[in-house]
Amino acid sequence: MSPVAIRVSARALLGLLALGGSSANAAGPSIPSNPTPNPSLSRDLGIAPTQLSRLLRVQRDAGAQEAAVRRELGDDYAGSWIEQTPGGAYRLVAASVGRQRASTRTGVQIRPARYSWAQLQASKQRLDRMLQSQRVGIHKPIDGLHAWHVDPVSNRVVIRLARDAQALAADFVAASGVDADELRFEFMDAAPQPTNWVFGGLAYRTASGGGCTAGFVAYKGEFPGVVTAGHCGVPPDQIDVNWEGLGLRWFGLFENSRFPGADQGWIRSSAFFTVTPQIYDWAGNFITVKGSVEAPIGASVCRSGLKTGYRCGWITAKNVTLNYPQGAVYGMTESDACSGFGDSGGPWIDPNGQAQGIQSGNQANSSDGHNCDAPAGLRRSFFNPINPILSEYGLVLSTG
């Protein structure tokens, strides 16, 4: 994928998927007390175990470092990300439109930037408002103009579009009033498509016949349930599960759901199921969820699902606006980890056990309905961040 000039376009295949989380039936597999390390992270990231340990140390401290440097730089702050050095180490980098140095206590390298984070986010919001003012918003997509987000590395708002939508993109940007110098355009050669199919740690299907994957366990007061994707069901859809060859069992009901606009939902589980804060890794192990500290751009992240198993990659963008055929969704996070039909609604988690989000869609490049065969630079999957879902629905994430 290469940047192009302003009158460019891209057709995104932001397929709505289905992923896997874990809510374990009492009759399900036992959870090992000392699970073996999962090989998927080194495999998918393409880094040696020694490099992986360095990355995880940086990633663990990145949240606190990012908050510290953001406070120190104030209005000069222009975004941050994790990057690998030529020597194979990892570090957190922040951009600044003013001061080029931060105090040594932050441990963050500072890079010069032209536009502040606030300025680029304001331009991104202009594009969002333009989408809504044209009565597109969550009701109707603009064919060929599929996604945009603020990229701190290039210090631009990146717009992804189809190759035959260059004129449309130019007109849309001009009407929004956004300064073209703040933008970068990229082609994305695939079309959005929905996918409803299920499993992860626990597969479910709705009474209407659709299916998806259970994500993170979360409580609303004393009631347990699972967070999943909004496109997987609407209240009061009844949910059935099929676990370990026991056949279909009634699991619960969709109590909350929102799609488009966002892609989030919560299923209240029945008293017949024991829910646990683990995620199945498709290698016989369960990963314990420890919290929901948001990882920065450049951090490693993994997802689990029925179609493609446990897959890992890098966080490549945040606050992405996507134009699905069913309508626009906002605030998505992008990763180059692969995904496929059957993965929707499942969990994204970082190697430190921090919940990141719920699978929403992807850019699929094959008739098999997944993008695992696509080159890393052309492979994109999208998830709805977990913390906004917890906040909106009044949920408490189950941790172990």
Instruction: Specify the 3-state DSSP secondary structure of 37.
Output: coil
Contacts of 130 (CB under 8 A, 6+ apart): 172, 175, 176
Q: Which of 263, 281, 336, 343 is catalytic?
A: 263
345: which residues sit within 8 A by CB, 6+ positions away?
Answer: 18, 19, 21, 198, 200, 212, 213, 214, 215, 228, 229, 232, 265, 358, 359
Is 344 a residue of the active site?
yes
The single-letter DSSP state of residue 136 is -
CA atoms of 162 and 263, how far apart (whole Å)? 23
Catalytic residue among 344, 360, 381, 398: 344
Q: Is 370 a catalytic residue?
A: no
Q: Among residues 69, 59, 76, which one has the least CA distance to residue 103?
A: 69
Which amino acid is present at 147? A
Catalytic site residue from 128, 231, 237, 269: 231
231 as an active site residue: the answer is yes
The whole-angstrom separation of Cα 231 and Cα 358 is 11
Sign of CA dihedral 59, 262, 343, 254: positive
DSSP reduced 3-state for 364: coil
Residues annotated as catalytic are: 231, 263, 344
